[in-house]
């Protein structure tokens, strides 16, 4: 429909430069972004499977037993590391490059370097995974990858940092949009984070408790200063973009950004509450977490007030639905996290499944949906094709939402009960273990639901990469009845000759 | 948006000679709104004031729970002075709590595990000589041990690091639970025996029996004093 | 351009401050922590050596940390001490030789900071690691049976062999492999019993 309109009505002269620039930027960055995102989805599937295996092992310890390389204590870190570095790192980097190129309105520089970097990075993760499975984990949580895998991760990231700075420096626009601040911040923070954490743990600069503090300073910040800012940047971009309204308030953006930058990186030590740490380090973590109310509420107001009055778009737009789910879960999971840091709360929930529930609320409720939203939005622009099936998107969305909620609720409830029971010394430990088992089974169910969603997304995504035969002229929306079967139908009609011609003619 | 109708890729349908064909191809990029902008809604001053007070609160909290910023200041609440001494507890309540870890071997029912862990119910060691019982708890015991006619051979850990009050309480508890009914074990008996044993290592059945027979006179008055 | 520099400088300063506050300062503070050395040359805590050090490596590569902590919380905060997981809270000095640290954040299983004092029997550990269901029916701890050789013939017995209760098929005894043995000696050595004065807070 739009296509026809465009063909019939000439483009207004005033709009031309913007449109031409947009198309040029997208066309140019296509190979890089598509590679980053498609490999990130590979790791997402991998991580989900690894998570599922660990989940099953936790309630049925005999599952896949007897194999040392896949014992719980190895597959569990593989799950988290591939989720955060594999899926998280690649999806966030793809998002970063695409958003920055678009917002700066210039072509992605160093394309070849970035492509090679992506390959190296993937190799690094594979090497790290094999290392852990072979028993060479460093034993430091979230930094399990053996030392020899680290250069594979850091060097490609340096390419991304260079590309990002380069674009920002040469940007064609006068104005800097709030998303860009976050993207700049990520590329400054992450290299410093990982290098200092590796220095403290793997190079052995410090021992014992000081190392534990450095470990959790990193462990929290890799989520807080890497995944979160990218997620927020995506939400800041997508929400106003899809509904076509400006973001609520520039001043709130400023307040949100700087308070986030100042407070978030102090919060890590709340992972060690009650441990053998000097009280001041833990208190610092608690204060950092409590202060997070300021950026979270500020950013929340900014996102939700922008949405206000436009909620009806949620009925149709897949991008918006994922984006709004992400930004709502950001608010909620951050509230949960701030309260969770309090000592009185930690007395019960620390060391229990509650923490695991919270992590997944943040990662699968906030970060992942925003990355999905980003892909739903950008992929049609990058590949000049529409999503092949609305139904698959619907499955993906509902599986993500329901699976995530089930997961979080089951784990948080079980965690609170588990913590209360653990604090009552007259309850034998094994009774607590047995109490959690049904909830662990629920978690496996939730994991299966999430996996279903991921597979639906994978199918839709890979159709886009493999089908260059024809395009739709209208976007795939939830209200459309575009189905997977249409495509198969269509395919039958076309002879291979036509497919070829069509592909070239398009 | 209207219903989607796939316009296929058949050559005759696409690309009439139009200079804007490039735009048509990028229909997705064409239909979007311009890049997002910032709105300029003002921030309520009251909100900023609230944020300010919240930060102030954070500063106060930091100072109050700082443990004086020492490397060894582990207790954030000890700043204002030492913790108040805990009030004395009912030995049966305290004892049940202390019994928690014993359950791992002697079970919640006190019946033990046949062949591995001896029962506490009806055991001559539990119900008999209190002095011997305290000695078992303080130093632990290994090797063959006959309890209620059955021989056990495993390791009972030492509980030396527990407070005297706690050891007395758990013994009082096991002597009066699951149908056992013997009198309580006083705290000062534990204190005395602990002194008597000094640095002595774990028992075996033989050395324990020797110890039990060598009843020093000094202990009796303590026991008498406690039971009156 | 000026604004760009300001942005990057600000971003850099935020992270630099927390590196200083949470990485550099604590490390500097902890330099003053020294082990206690008794007259007889005994040291608390003592560095891990030989078998125990090797066992610690096995503990790490098997990922015990994902289910077990090694830290006892103070009296009145949680029930760690009342559960018998320790007799005093853990203090930074307990860990000065821990590299990498294994404090842990998850208690699917009990705390292990004092497991050596609580469960001194190597046979128990062997049986438990070989198959937790033998000693703790209903446990969700995985089997680490690959750390043991199973014995079915009396001729294979050595003095390290541990008798397995009936119901394990043809297996009558298990013998810990070198790694299994070192893990067990690491576990039985885990003990935070020395009463550091700072633990009385």
Please give the ipTM for the structure prediction.
0.93
Q: Domain residue spans in chain A?
A: 2-505
Dihedral angle sign, alpha carbons of residues A332, A338, A344, A349:
positive
Q: What is the pLDDT of residues A171-220, one digit of tens each?
A: 888 888 999 999 999 999 999 999 988 888 877 667 788 899 999 999 99
pLDDT at A499: 37
Closest chain C residue by Cα to residue B143 = C121
CA distance A133 to chain C (A): 9
**pLDDT band at residue B2 under the 50/70/90 scheme:** very low
**Distance from C-alpha of A273 to C-alpha of A340, rounded to nearest angstrom:** 11
Give domain status of residue C87, yes or no: yes
Report the percent of chain A where pLDDT is more than 90: 70
Option in C21, C67, C77 nearest A274 (CB): C77
Option in A141, A209, A430 nearest C30 (CB): A209
Tell me the domains of chain B and their CATH numbers: 91-226 (1.10.760.10)
DSSP bridge pairs for C149: C175
Option in A168, A189, A268 nearest C15 (CB): A189
Option in A213, A265, A350 nearest C14 (CB): A265
Q: Which domain holds residue C165?
A: 50-200
User: Which partners does chain B have (≥3 C-beta pairs < 8 Å)?
Assistant: A, C
Q: What is the DSSP letter of C45?
A: S
The DSSP string of B1-12 is: ----------GG
**pLDDT band at residue A489 under the 50/70/90 scheme:** low
Closest chain A residue by Cα to residue B4 = A480
pLDDT at A76: 95
Q: What is the pLDDT of residues A299-313, one digit of tens each?
A: 999 999 999 888 888
pLDDT at A505: 26
Q: Which of A275-279, A418-422, B200-204 comes out lowest in average pLDDT?
A: B200-204
3-state secondary structure string across C81-143: CCCCCCCCCCCHHHHCCCCCCCCCCECCCCCCCCHHHHCCCHHHHHHHHHCHHHHCCCCCCCC
Whether residue A10 has pLDDT greater than 70: no
Whether residue B12 has pLDDT greater than 70: no
**Distance from C-alpha of A334 to C-alpha of A54, rounded to nearest angstrom:** 26
How many C-beta neighbours within 10 Å does residue C6 have?
A: 10
Using a CB-CB cut-off of 8 Å, the residues of chain B touching C119 are 104, 157
Closest by CA position to A226, among listed A401, A338, A95? A95
With an 8 Å Cβ cutoff, is A212 touching chain C?
A: yes
Q: What is the pLDDT of residues B70-99, one digit of tens each?
A: 877 887 765 434 444 455 677 787 888 778
pLDDT at A486: 60
Mean pLDDT score of chain A, rounded to an integer?
A: 88
Inter-chain contact C91–B74, Cβ cutoff 8 Å? yes
Whether residue A142 has pLDDT greater than 50: yes
pLDDT at A3: 44
Q: Which residues of A351-381 are buried (b: 16+ CB within 10 A; e: fewer)?
A: bbbbbbbbbbbbbbbbbbbbbbbbbbbbbbb
Inter-chain contact C11–A430, Cβ cutoff 8 Å? no
The DSSP string of C147-178 is: GEEEE-SGGG--TT-EEPPS-STT--EEEE-H
3-state secondary structure string across A426-483: CCCHHHHHHHHHHHHHHHHHHHHHHHHHHHHHHHHHHHHHHCCCCCCCCCCCCCCCCC
Per-residue pLDDT, averaged over A93-106, amounts to 94
pLDDT at C196: 79
**Distance from C-alpha of A401 to C-alpha of A453, rounded to nearest angstrom:** 9
Looking at the structure of chain C, the number of domains it has is 1
Q: What is the pLDDT of residues A322-359, one digit of tens each?
A: 999 999 999 999 999 999 999 999 999 999 999 999 99
CATH number of the domain where residue C67 is located = 1.10.760.10
- Do residues A249 and B43 lie in contact, with contact meaning Cβ atoms separated by under 8 Å? yes
pLDDT at A312: 85
pLDDT at B162: 77
CA distance B45 to chain A (A): 12
pLDDT at A293: 95
**Distance from C-alpha of A488 to C-alpha of C133, rounded to nearest angstrom:** 53
**Distance from C-alpha of C31 to C-alpha of A212, rounded to nearest angstrom:** 15
**Distance from C-alpha of C146 to C-alpha of A65, rounded to nearest angstrom:** 10
Best C5, C23, C93, C106 member to test A by mutation, with max A CBs in 10 Å, is: C23
Using a CB-CB cut-off of 8 Å, the residues of chain A touching C145 are 65-66
The DSSP string of A13-56 is: TTTHHHHHHHHHHHHHHHHHHHHHHHHHHHHHHHHHHHHHHHHH
pLDDT at C160: 83
How many C-beta neighbours within 10 Å does residue C190 have?
A: 20
Find residues 146-165 of chain B whose CB sits inside 8 Å of chain C. 154-155, 157-158, 161-162
Whether residue A39 has pLDDT greater than 90: yes
In a 13 Å sphere around the CA of A116, the CA atoms on its Cβ side amount to 7
Closest by CA position to A26, among listed A98, A119, A89? A98
CA dist A62 to A10, C66, C134, Å? Answer: 67, 17, 14
Give domain status of residue C8, yes or no: no
pLDDT at B116: 80
Q: Which of A42-46, A432-436, A497-501, B198-202 comes out lowest in average pLDDT?
A: A497-501
pLDDT at A490: 58
Inter-chain contact B29–A279, Cβ cutoff 8 Å? no
Option in A173, A426, A499 nearest B96 (CB): A426
Inter-chain contact B39–A474, Cβ cutoff 8 Å? no
Name, in order, each residue with C-beta under 8 angstroms of A376's C-beta and a sequence gap of 6 or more.
A318, A319, A322, A387, A393
User: Which partners does chain C have (≥3 C-beta pairs < 8 Å)?
Assistant: A, B
- Do residues A319 and A397 lie in contact, with contact meaning Cβ atoms separated by under 8 Å? no
> For residue B153, what is the enclosing H or E element?
strand B150-153
Q: Which CATH class is domain A2-505?
A: mainly alpha
**Distance from C-alpha of A364 to C-alpha of A326, rounded to nearest angstrom:** 9
- What is this structure's pTM? 0.83
Q: What is the DSSP letter of A420?
A: H
Chain B to chain C, count of Cβ pairs less than 8 Å apart?
Answer: 53
**pLDDT band at residue A475 under the 50/70/90 scheme:** confident
Using a CB-CB cut-off of 8 Å, the residues of chain A touching C12 are 188, 192
pLDDT at A466: 81
Phi and psi at B26, nearest 5°, equal -100, 45
Chain A to chain C, count of Cβ pairs less than 8 Å apart?
Answer: 215
Per-residue pLDDT, averaged over A161-167, amounts to 94
pLDDT at B59: 93
pLDDT at C16: 93
Using a CB-CB cut-off of 8 Å, the residues of chain C touching B104 are 119
Number of residues that this document lists for chain A = 506
Q: Does the N-terminal peptide bond of residue C161 adopt cis geometry, omega within 30 degrees of 0? A: no
pLDDT at B10: 39
Ranked by mean pLDDT, the top range of A11-15, A465-469, B104-108 is B104-108
Option in C15, C79, C96 nearest A208 (CB): C96
In a 13 Å sphere around the CA of B35, the CA atoms on its Cβ side amount to 19
**Distance from C-alpha of B206 to C-alpha of B200, rounded to nearest angstrom:** 15
Name, in order, each residue with C-beta under 8 angstroms of C120's C-beta and a sequence gap of 6 or more.
B140, B155, B157, C188
Inter-chain contact B71–C119, Cβ cutoff 8 Å? no
**Distance from C-alpha of C136 to C-alpha of C117, rounded to nearest angstrom:** 19
User: Which partners does chain A have (≥3 C-beta pairs < 8 Å)?
Assistant: B, C
Inter-chain contact C120–B157, Cβ cutoff 8 Å? yes
CA distance C157 to chain A (A): 23
Beta strand B150-153 with B144-147 is antiparallel
Whether residue A288 has pLDDT greater than 60: yes
CA dist A390 to A237, A249, A316, A398, Å? Answer: 23, 34, 10, 12
Find residues 161-180 of chain A whose CB sits inside 8 Å of chain C. 168-169, 176
> For residue B221, what is the enclosing H or E element?
helix B219-227
Q: What is the pLDDT of residues A237-264, one digit of tens each?
A: 999 998 888 999 999 999 999 999 999 9
Name, in order, each residue with C-beta under 8 angstroms of B213's C-beta and a sequence gap of 6 or more.
none
Taking 70 as the pLDDT cut, the residues of chain C under it are 1, 39-40, 168, 201
Using a CB-CB cut-off of 8 Å, the residues of chain C touching B158 are 117
Is residue A104 classed as helix, strand or coil in its secondary structure?
helix
Whether residue A398 has pLDDT greater than 50: yes
**Distance from C-alpha of A149 to C-alpha of A131, rounded to nearest angstrom:** 8
Closest by CA position to C140, among listed A438, A429, A78, A57? A57
Q: Which of A279-293, B199-213, C67-81 comes out lowest in average pLDDT?
A: B199-213
CA distance B166 to chain A (A): 14
Name, in order, each residue with C-beta under 8 angstroms of C23's C-beta and a sequence gap of 6 or more.
A196, A200, A206, A210, A213, A214, A217
DSSP bridge pairs for B156: B141
CA distance C51 to chain B (A): 22
Is residue A503 classed as helix, strand or coil in its secondary structure?
helix
The DSSP string of A381-392 is: HHHT---S-HHH
Closest by CA position to A309, among listed A411, A211, A225, A240? A240
Q: What is the pLDDT of residues B23-52, one digit of tens each?
A: 666 667 777 778 888 888 888 899 999 999
CA dist A83 to A51, A234, A368, A473, C30, Å? Answer: 9, 19, 10, 35, 34
Give domain status of residue C30, yes or no: no
Closest chain C residue by Cα to residue A254 = C7
Closest chain A residue by Cα to residue C28 = A210
Inter-chain contact C62–A284, Cβ cutoff 8 Å? no
Inter-chain contact C117–B161, Cβ cutoff 8 Å? yes
**Distance from C-alpha of C21 to C-alpha of A54, rounded to nearest angstrom:** 36
**Distance from C-alpha of A170 to C-alpha of A147, rounded to nearest angstrom:** 36
Give the end-to-end CA distance of chain B in Å, rounded to a whole number.
Answer: 92
pLDDT at A481: 61
CA distance C136 to chain B (A): 8
Inter-chain contact C32–B71, Cβ cutoff 8 Å? yes
Is residue C47 classed as helix, strand or coil in its secondary structure?
coil
Q: Which of A222-226, A264-268, B198-202, B221-225 comes out lowest in average pLDDT?
A: B221-225
With an 8 Å Cβ cutoff, is B100 touching chain C?
A: yes
DSSP bridge pairs for A148: none
Inter-chain contact B74–C198, Cβ cutoff 8 Å? yes
Find residues 128-157 of chain A whose CB sits inside 8 Å of chain C. 135-141
Inter-chain contact B157–C29, Cβ cutoff 8 Å? no
Option in A245, A426, A477 nearest B97 (CB): A426
CA–CA–CA angle A153, A265, A406 (5° rounding): 80
């Amino acid at each position: 429909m739009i296509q026809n309109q465009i063909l019939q009505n000439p483009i207004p002269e005033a709009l031309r430069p913007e449109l031409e620039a947009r198309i040029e930027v997208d066309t140019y960055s296509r190979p890089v972004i598509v590679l980053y995102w498609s490999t990130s989805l590979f790791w997402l599937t991998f991580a989900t499977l690894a998570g599922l295996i660990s989940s099953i092992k936790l309630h049925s310890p005999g599952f896949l037993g007897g194999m040392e390389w896949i014992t719980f204590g190895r597959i569990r870190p593989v799950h988290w590391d591939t989720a955060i570095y594999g899926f998280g790192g690649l999806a966030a980097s793809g998002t970063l490059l695409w958003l920055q190129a678009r917002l700066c309105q210039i072509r992605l520089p160093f394309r070849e370097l970035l492509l090679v970097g992506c390959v190296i990075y993937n190799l690094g993760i594979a090497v790290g995974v094999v290392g852990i499975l072979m028993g060479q984990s460093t034993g430091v949580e979230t930094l399990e990858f053996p030392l020899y895998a680290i250069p594979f991760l850091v060097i490609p990231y340096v390419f991304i940092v260079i590309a990002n700075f380069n674009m920002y420096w040469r940007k064609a626009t006068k104005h800097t949009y709030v998303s860009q601040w976050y993207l700049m911040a990520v590329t400054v923070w992450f290299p410093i984070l990982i290098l200092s954490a590796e220095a403290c743990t793997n190079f052995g600069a410090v021992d014992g408790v000081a190392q534990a503090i450095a470990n959790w300073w990193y462990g929290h910040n890799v989520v807080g200063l890497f995944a979160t800012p990218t997620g927020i940047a995506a939400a800041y971009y997508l929400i106003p973009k899809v509904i076509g309204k400006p973001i609520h308030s520039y001043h709130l953006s400023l307040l949100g950004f700087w308070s986030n930058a100042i407070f978030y990186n102090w919060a890590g030590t709340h992972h060690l509450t009650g441990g053998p740490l000097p009280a001041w380090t833990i208190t610092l973590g608690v204060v950092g977490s409590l202060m997070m109310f300021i950026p979270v509420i500020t950013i929340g107001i900014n996102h939700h007030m922008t949405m206000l009055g436009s909620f009806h778009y949620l009925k149709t737009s897949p991008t918006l639905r994922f984006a709004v789910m992400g930004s709502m879960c950001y608010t909620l999971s951050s509230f949960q996290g701030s309260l969770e840091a309090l000592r009185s709360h930690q007395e019960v929930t620390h060391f229990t499944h509650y923490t695991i529930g919270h992590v997944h609320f943040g990662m699968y409720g906030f970060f992942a949906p925003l990355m999905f939203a980003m892909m739903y939005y950008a992929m049609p622009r990058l590949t000049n094709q529409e999503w092949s099936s609305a139904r698959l998107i619907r499955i993906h969305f509902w599986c993500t939402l329901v699976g995530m909620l089930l997961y979080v609720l089951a784990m948080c409830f079980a965690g609170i009960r588990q913590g209360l029971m653990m604090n009552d010394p007259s309850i034998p430990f094994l009774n607590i273990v047995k109490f959690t088992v049904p909830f662990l089974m629920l978690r496996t169910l939730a994991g299966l639901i999430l996996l279903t969603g991921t597979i639906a997304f994978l199918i839709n995504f890979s159709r886009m990469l493999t089908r260059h035969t024809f395009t739709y002229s209208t976007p795939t929306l939830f209200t459309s009845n575009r189905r997977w079967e249409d495509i198969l139908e269509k395919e039958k009609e076309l002879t291979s000759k036509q497919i070829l011609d069509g592909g070239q003619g398009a | 948006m209207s219903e989607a109708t796939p316009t296929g890729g058949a050559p005759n349908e696409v690309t009439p000679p139009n200079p804007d064909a490039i735009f048509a191809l990028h229909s997705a990029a064409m239909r979007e709104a311009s890049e997002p902008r910032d709105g300029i809604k003002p921030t309520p001053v009251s909100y900023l004031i609230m944020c300010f007070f919240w930060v102030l609160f954070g500063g106060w909290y930091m100072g109050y729970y700082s443990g004086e910023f020492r490397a060894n200041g582990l207790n954030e609440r000890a700043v204002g002075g030492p913790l108040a001494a805990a009030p004395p507890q009912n030995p049966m309540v305290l004892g049940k709590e202390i019994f928690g870890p014993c359950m791992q071997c002697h079970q919640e029912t006190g019946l033990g595990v046949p062949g591995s862990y001896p029962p506490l119910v009806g055991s001559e060691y539990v119900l008999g000589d209190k002095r011997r019982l305290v000695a078992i708890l303080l130093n632990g015991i290994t090797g063959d041990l006959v309890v209620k006619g059955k021989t056990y051979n495993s390791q009972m850990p030492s509980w030396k690091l527990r407070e005297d009050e706690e050891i007395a309480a758990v013994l009082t508890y096991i002597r009066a639970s699951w149908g056992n009914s013997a009198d309580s074990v006083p705290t000062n008996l534990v204190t005395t025996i602990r002194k008597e044993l000094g640095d002595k290592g774990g028992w075996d059945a033989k050395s324990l029996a020797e110890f039990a027979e060598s009843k020093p006179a000094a202990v009796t008055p303590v026991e008498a004093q406690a039971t009156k | 351009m000026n604004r760009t520099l300001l942005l990057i400088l600000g971003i850099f300063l935020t992270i630099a401050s927390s590196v200083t506050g949470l990485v550099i300062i604590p490390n500097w503070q902890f330099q003053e922590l020294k082990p206690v050395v008794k007259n007889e040359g005994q040291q608390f805590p003592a560095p891990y050596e030989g078998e125990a050090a090797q066992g610690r490596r096995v503990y790490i590569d098997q990922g015990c940390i994902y289910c077990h902590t090694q830290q006892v919380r103070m009296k009145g905060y949680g029930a760690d001490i009342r559960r018998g997981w320790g007799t005093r809270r853990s203090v930074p000095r307990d860990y000065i030789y821990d590299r990498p640290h294994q404090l842990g954040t998850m208690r699917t299983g009990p705390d292990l900071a004092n497991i050596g004092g609580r469960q001194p029997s190597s046979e128990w550990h062997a049986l438990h690691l070989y198959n937790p269901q033998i000693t703790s029916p209903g446990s969700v701890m995985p089997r680490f049976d690959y750390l043991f050789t199973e014995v079915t013939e009396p001729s294979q017995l050595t003095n390290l062999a541990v008798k397995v209760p009936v119901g394990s098929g043809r297996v009558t005894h298990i013998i810990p492999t070198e790694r299994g043995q070192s893990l067990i000696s690491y576990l039985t050595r885990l003990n935070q019993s020395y009463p550091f004065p700072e633990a009385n807070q």
